[in-house]
Amino acid sequence: MRVIYQAIAIALLMGSVGTAAAQAPTETTVERSVKALPAKDTQIGIFLNVLPDCTSGPLPTIRLVSPPAAGKVVVKSAKAKATNYKACLALEVPAYVAFYKSPPEFLGDDTLTIEVKYAGGRTEIQKITVKVSGPGAQQRI
């Protein structure tokens, strides 16, 4: 009888190890750039979690891994509204919005790294280059 209980315990342990391995956390790295004006708040990211039933899941955890050399990064709470997002025709969910602001005299590239951890173990490392230039250097349409 004791051997059967040990076999069941080992089988349960192996099953939970297999489950843990199947749900191993994943980490991806994203590199992108954003244009900004000096001394102006510029949105550099929006972070939310929309479930398949169009409701909000738990918001991710955001950490500033490497701060920008010249500017500052601030994260604010917000409500994100969207239409025709995946299978959701209309939704309104809580979100975090990240902003970058340079000093008034700064022109050039400033880089920062943000770590975004989502529920379920997925982690995204975002390497963001903010290109700060004067008003005449902005893209013309």
Q: HEC string of 95-126?
A: EEEEEEECCCCCCEEEEEEEEEECCCCCEEEE
The pLDDT profile of the chain, 141 residues, written as one tens digit per residue, is 333 333 333 333 333 333 333 456 799 999 999 999 999 999 999 999 999 999 999 999 999 999 999 999 999 999 999 999 989 999 999 999 999 999 999 999 999 999 999 998 999 999 999 999 987 655 555
Residues 126 and 111: beta-carbon distance below 8 Å = no
Amino acid 22: pLDDT: 45
Q: Cα(8)–Cα(46) distance, rounded to whole angstroms?
A: 47
59: alpha, beta or left, given left = phi > 0 and alpha = psi -120 to 50? beta
Domains of the chain: 24-137 (2.60.40)
Longest CA span, the chain: 82
How open is the CA angle 122-50-130, to the nearest 5 degrees? 65
**Taking the model in full, what pTM does it have?**
0.77
Question: Which pLDDT score, from 0 to 100, does residue 15 have?
Answer: 35
**Helices and strands (H and E) in the chain: how many:** 1, 7
